[in-house]
Amino acid sequence: MRKIIFWVHTSIDGHIDGPNGEFDWPVMGEELSAYSEALGDRCDTFLYGRGVWDGMVAFWPNAESMSDHPHILKFAPRWRDTPKIVFSRTLKDTDWATRVIGDDLAEQVADLKRQEGEHLLLTGGSSLAAALTAHGLIDEYHIAVHPVVLGGGRPLFTPRDERLTLRLTESRACDSQVVVMRYDRV
């Protein structure tokens, strides 16, 4: 069965964006870029919630014209070539997504996991991750903790009624500044 791998950047105070939605603080050094690319290599489909999707589609289709960062130059063609699924109740169609899923989240995602293929990479966001976590559908959580205190913004994990117990399976420092932890669902 395919796994859903959740890849997310957070501040040390637990926010995935700043108080005004800023996402200008993650630093993709060589080691963190390699880690991110290795996650992508394990997957044949990328998953996005609507908010992250809007940011991705505004950048990645023409990323090379906006930056010459080695990670961007390497990942941009991969992003364009990889099938992408967006989860949104309001988005009906988009040029860059292979599919938009708007309802029956648990059933649709469970079906995706049963299909043949490589794993599924869910990048960023908190709402979709929270919904998938509530249904027990995320298998691996890869959390990159950056050395910044944002003082507000969306929390990495939204409040929930039930405790979520995970098992730490790996941790490492990347580029002498970012700590990446991998947790598996118990």
Q: Which three-class secondary structure string do you get for 165-186?
A: CEEEEEEEEECCCEEEEEEEEC
Could you tell me which of 131, 141, 132 has the C-alpha nearest to residue 165?
A: 141
pTM: 0.96
> What pLDDT is stored for residue 69 in this prediction?
94
> What pLDDT is stored for residue 129 in this prediction?
97
> What pLDDT is stored for residue 92 in this prediction?
85
- Domain edges within the chain: 4-185
- In this structure, the number of other CB atoms found within 10 A of the CB of residue 129 comes to 25
CA distance 39 to 36: 5
- In this structure, the number of other CB atoms found within 10 A of the CB of residue 30 comes to 11
CA distance 134 to 157: 11
Q: What does the pLDDT look like over 51-99, one tens digit per residue?
A: 999 999 999 999 999 999 999 999 999 999 999 999 999 998 889 999 9
CA distance 182 to 186: 13
Q: How far is CA 47 from CA 13, 112, 121, 168, 174, in A?
A: 25, 11, 6, 23, 24
Which CATH number among 3.40.430.10, 2.130.10.10, 1.20.58.100, 3.40.50.2300 corresponds to the domain 4-185? 3.40.430.10
User: Quick one: tokens of 43?
Assistant: 């997957």
With a cut of 70, list the residues of the chain below it in pLDDT.
none
Contact 17, 153 (CB under 8 A): yes
Contact 25, 150 (CB under 8 A): yes
- Which stretches does DSSP call E strand in the chain? 4-11, 43-49, 84-87, 99-101, 119-123, 140-146, 166-174, 178-185
> What pLDDT is stored for residue 93 in this prediction?
84
Contact 169, 5 (CB under 8 A): no
